[in-house]
Each structure stands twice: as C-alpha cells, then as structure tokens.
Chains A and B, each alone.
Chain A
C-alpha cells in the first residue's frame, strides 16, 4: 500500500514532468525528430562542456569527500569536547545554509584582479579569477559539508569495540585505520562521493559566476541555451546528457558497496569502550587542519556580513542599517513566503526520505531497484531542467499547479530528499537485520518494528534529511527560478535579482538573514534530536550542530 502510494507520487512528480519535457524535446510539431537533439550533442563546444563537467564533478567529489572525512574523523575520533565540536559544526554548516552564490562572490572579492587578497594584500595585478581552479575551490567549500553530514553518523556508528579488538590483537593504529575503520566507512564514503559528484554536476550558480568563458560546464550551457537562445529543446538535451554520468557513478557505487558486508551495530555489542584509534600526536594535526579550513570559511562569511552592513563594499565603507531596512520592508513578502514553503517542505521531505530509504534498504518488493533510481532522478538532474519540466507539466490542465506554493514544495521534497534517502540507506546498511528479525519473531508487527526498532536507529539520518530539505528550501535557486510566481516569491530569487541590479548590500543582508534563520531551525532540530535520540546513539546529538 505504502509502496503503491510512493510510486504514485514518484510517477506524478518525477516521471510525468520528465516525460513531458522529453516529449517536447523529441518531437517537432507533433513528429518524432531526434536530428536536432543529436546535432547539439555533436557540437565540439558542448562536448568540451561535457568533459569539463565530469572533470569538475570528479574533483569536487574527491576533494569534498576527503574534507568531509577529515572533519567526520576529527569529530568522532579525536575526542573533542562539546565546545570544539560545536565550532566545527557551526562553521561547516555555513556553506550549506547560505544561498549558492555566497562563496563565489566572496571568491571574486578576495581573489579577483582587485581582490582583497590578491591585489590589496599581495599586490598581484591582472590575475584572472575565472576558471576551473576557483570554481573547484568554491564548490568544494560549498558542498563538502554534505559529505561531513553523511560520514559523521557512519563513523560514529562504527562500534569502537571493533577497532579496539583489532588494536588488542596487535595491529598498529595505521593498520586499524586502513583495515577496519576505512573499509567499514566505505558505504558512507561512496554515498558521500555520489552526493558531491551529483551536486557539482548539477550546480549552475557557482559556474555561472566563476567558471568564466574558458571553462564552460553543461548546467550553465543548458541554462544559457534556454534563457539566452530561447532554445528549450537544446537546453533539455544538454541536461539529459548530464544524466548519463550521474547514473554511471550511481551504479558503480551500488555495485561497489553491495558486495561487502558492513554490519557493525548488532544486537550483540557489549559495553562501548573509549576510542583509541587516533594517536595522541595526530589529534592536534587533525584539529589544526579542520581549523584551517574553518578559518577560510569564516573569513568568507565575515566578508558577507561586512558587505551587508556597509553602504557599498569596495567603494563606500560607512556603516549602515539601510540594507536590512530594505529587506524587512520590500522583502518582507519573500521572507514570509520562503518560511511557509520551507516549513511545509521540511517535515514532508524528511518523512519521505526515511520512508523511501527504509523501503529500498530493507523491504523486498517488485521494482525496488527502479524505485531507488527514480527517487534519485530529480536530484541528479540540473535544477534548471527540473524547473522547466515542472513548468511544462503542471502549467496546463489536468494538473495545473503553477502559481501556487504546492509546486514549489513538491519540487523541494522530490529534489532534496535523496540526501535523506542516501543517509538512511547508509545507516541501515550498518545495522544487522537480525535486530528487526528478532522484533518480528517476537510477534511485533512490521509497523511496530519500524517505529520501535528501525526508526530510532535511523533518527540521525532522518534529521539529516530533514535539515537538508529545510536548508535547500531556504537556499535553492536553479529550479525554483522557474516556479516562483506572482503569488509566491522566494528569498533566493530576490538575492539573484539584487545581484543583477548591483544591489550587493541587500543581497548580502538577505543571505545573512537566511543563514540566521537556518541556524535557529537547525539548532532546534539538534535539541529535539538530543531529547528523542535512542540509547546508544546519544553521541549523535550534534549531528547537525546545536
């Protein structure tokens, strides 16, 4: 029953819009025609953009996963106090909870031809800030927290006893790390890489600002094809091309992860021992590396805060409240609309993510693999395409939804819940099914088992999913730019608009506001999580900071 309902929703909000769009792309005046689609793909410039996209996604995936792992390892193994953990969490959350342009803008201000660092500090003239390096750097900083959020519960869930046993059997710390910790974290690492790869592949905001003309990538090419050359079909074709690598990596990851056995949380664990895998001398190194990254991030956001409070960054540095006044008067409607939409998307998206993740990881039913693939589709596709597909599918009867908030909520739920799905799957792959079997065998129903046994174990994943959906609802731009309407508008769209109107101050003030709101909500989630967390997972209390 649940499965059928989910399929219905997936069909309506994932497959139907995509097929509508595909219909537009593949037909020309009612006739099937693929010639022009193929012509676009054969264009050497587009092929170069395709290659660039893959390169960028690969680099961001690798670097972001490594950074995320560093942070997760430090958080779970370096024996940090609550305060330090709080600092790490707070700083790593910043890029996640701010609108997508923020790091890109800070990059330009810092490293451009008249950048604060390159020119004012180092006196280098005529540098070019546009290209692969800065795009890669900016995307890595923006997205590595996703890897951190994915890996942190995974590392925390690896029973320290297992590492301890290996140590007492005479293995060195390095050996334990290499042969126990890392292999056990592989599902998490693979998931983190997949999420980052997909995020980078679909990102259009950062390359739009930073990639420049020398390094075109597919999502921006698709966006420019649609909005610049008024070529919806061409843009759609380019976006569909993105699906190929996205699913290549996805299938690879499935194959790789599913061949190994990762159970560490079983019913048989004894008392937990202290974590000893990180040598005392290594701890300050890990913490130092994390703090260095944190300092870079903190600098970017200090710059943003400063920009929101001066008349015009770079030209007139007199303090002013003017920009905040603007956003709370003219921008009040966008703020209200955004909060309502994010408030609706969050619980729906969190529940949906855990439900799909649970079904996919634990239940046998026909079409299970297909459901997993379909549930990832909207995430893997660039937002521009999802937005246009929704616009085409839901503008006309029978299902006319454009102009309302429901279409934006649906877009967020189906586009941003995959983080929750992947987190749930990763978490469940570490939990021995015998726990649930025991519950079932003792006479509990499937639903009771889910609520009493499985759910408490996936609570961290649920809150990770919940948090990500809320964050994305507050910060997403690429899909929603096509879904906002005269009735419902959003803060991010206002930020983009302010930037194109050269009103950097209000754009920065809006960004600061978004960061503040999300911080408060995430802190509340953290509090709730601590209250409700199941025995044995108490250490996960600060999964999302707070």
Chain B
C-alpha cells in the first residue's frame, strides 16, 4: 500500500525530493555526453546540481515558447545562436550580462545580454575515406569539388527547416559567392543533384558518412571529430574559398523559478573555467572565451583553414526569406 501511495504521489509530481541541495533546471541542446560532464563539473565547483533534459534546438525552442507563461526550466543551454535569435522575437529570454561579458568579442554576445556564447563551432567537409579511395578522389578542398558527379546521390547534409547547421551552411555559400543570391542558389541547385537526403538534425548525416552509406557531407566540426573519435574512417577538410562558423550560446529564461542559480550556471558556462575543460572531456568545440587556448589536436585540424563568422545582422535580417527560398527552390526542386 505504501508503495502504491508513493508511486501515485510521484506520478502526480508531488514527491519532490527533499531539496537539501540547490538545483537549477535546464533544457540542454548539447547532447548528453557533452552536457553531462560539464554539469557535473559545475556541481563540483559550486555545489549546485543541474537537473536537465536534452532536446534538439527546434524542440527545445518550441517547448520554451509553449511554456513561456509558466517556465519549467531556468536556462536554455547550448544550441546555435540562430535558435536564440529566433527566441528573442518570442520574448522568452531575460537579459543577463555575466562577468565575462565585457571580455567577449561582439559576435559572441547579444548586445543586451539576451544570449551569450559559450563556444564556437566551425563547419567542415567530412568524407568517408574508403569512398574517396574507391572513387579516386581527394578530400574535397573546394565547394566546386562537391559538384563532382562521383558524389551523385552520395552527399548527406542537414535540412534548413530544422537545423542550425544547415542555415550556417547556406549563409556560408552566400558569403563565398559575395552574397550574390543568384549565384549562390545556382550552386545549391546543382549541389541538390548530389544530395541523397537532407537530414533533420545537423549531425544526422555523420553516421551514414562514417558507415559509407553516404560519401560526404557538411557538418559542424564538433560532430565530425566525434565521428572520427568513434572509430569511423573519415577525412576532414576545408574549402579553400572559406566556410562559416556558428557560436553556441546560453540564455536565461524570463520568469525562471531559480533566476539566481540560473545566473550562476551562465556565469560558469561563459567563463574560462568551464571552457578550459572542453579538452579534458574531449569536447571539440572552439572556446569562445579569449583567455582559453584551443586544444592542440583541434588547433592542428583547424590549421590553415579559412573560417569566417556569419554576419549576425545580415543573417538575422534575411534568415527567414533565405530559408523559405531554399525550401522552394532547392529542397522542392523539380528534376
């Protein structure tokens, strides 16, 4: 009987654990295997426990918006900045400037402090080494290389409707074409013929590329290096024309139940203390904090790569229109 009562009580959400310890609640867009060690380190440093669930950026944002009159969590942790930019319009964030704020370059923070970056994540080309060998190809070193008919039906990359990776990719193409939309869309329409499938999530194509189900794709470096670390034989390369990068951000929610604890989590995430731990936990993000050095093996991969930040103002003003154009002209292109 006692058991039943306990189960029922728990079911109705009453049996909250005795709150001897301070707990901050978060939705994490970072996958669990990166978020968990960071939160454990935070608990070690401050004694504050992080209670979290992981969602993709779109799912997390949809939830936060739906819950905005009665927020269930305090912090939105991780995720490409364009997710947070979309959230600002919905009025879901509370502006907060952590101690590191002044030190961060302008592109790593929203002017009012609606979001602050905790890492940087450049795009890369990732290809299956066996596929390259079979087709006598070198790792693609130019955007043009991906148009090679050898890649027909063998590229996987993300769908711009759901993935920040894809949006960064499209703005990269615009940038290397001097923001000439006609030229950029011409290129993407040609690329479309080589694309096997546009995946829901940014990292969705990494496993197929790792397994050779697909030959190559465009991914964030953190996903690409993770694929390599899992033991898949893949090559990472950069286009000589350059490729974009996107910041990963953190934000405090308006109406958060534990705003003070939320702020502490943000203080820590934006500090050199947390970002200095990326290397220890094999998280291949590039630290956003200027005081933290890039880990040696990561720096080796990045050496000589031409990486440019996506212009916030330009992307923000044009994102919706460009994504819609991409859906109409590229994704739904009639062959």
Which residues of A approach B to under 8 Å, CB–CB? 45, 108, 112-115, 126, 128, 130, 208, 212-213, 224-230, 232, 311-316, 330, 340-341, 343-344, 388, 391-392, 395-397, 400-406, 409, 481-482, 484-487, 489, 493, 497, 500-504
Contact = CB atoms under 8 A, between A and B. Distances in A.
Contacts of A114: 211-213
Contacts of B223: 502
Interface string B202-246: 011011101111100000000100110011110000000000000
Interface residues of chain A: helix, strand, loop or mixed (majority): loop
A486 B86 contact: no
Given A114-B213, A128-B196, A232-B65, A500 B208 contact: no
Contact of A340 (B10, B72, B197, B210): B10
Contact of B56 (A227, A316, A344): A227
23 contacts: A115-B213, A128-B153, A212-B196, A227-B162, A228-B161, A229-B323, A230-B86, A311-B231, A315-B210, A315-B233, A388-B62, A397-B70, A401-B13, A405-B10, A405-B11, A406-B11, A485-B53, A486-B25, A497-B54, A500-B31, A502-B207, A502-B210, A502-B227
A314 B51 contact: no
A213 B197 contact: yes
Contacts of A406: 11-13
A303 B153 CA distance: 25
Given A128-B153, A228-B58, A230-B86, A486 B52 contact: yes
A409 B62 CA distance: 22
B159 A228 contact: yes
B153 A113 contact: yes
B227 A392 contact: no
A226 B154 CA distance: 29
Contact of B31 (A486, A487, A497): A497
Interface residues of chain B: helix, strand, loop or mixed (majority): mixed
Interface of B: 7, 10-13, 25-26, 31-33, 36, 51-56, 58-59, 61-63, 65-67, 69-70, 72-73, 86, 90, 152-154, 159, 161-163, 195-198, 200-201, 203-204, 206-208, 210-214, 223, 226-227, 230-233, 323, 327-328, 331-332
B269 to A, nearest CB: 18
A477 B208 CA distance: 23
A213 B331 contact: yes
Given A130-B196, A403-B72, 18 more contacts: A113-B196, A115-B213, A126-B154, A213-B195, A224-B200, A315-B232, A340-B11, A344-B11, A391-B67, A401-B13, A403-B13, A404-B12, A482-B59, A482-B62, A484-B53, A487-B13, A497-B54, A503-B33
Nearest to B73: A486
B282 to A, nearest CB: 14
Contacts of B213: 108, 112-115
Contacts of B196: 113, 128, 130, 212
A35 B321 CA distance: 19
A203 to B, nearest CB: 15
A45 B163 CA distance: 20
A486 B232 contact: no
A489 B53 contact: yes
Contacts of B58: 226-228, 230
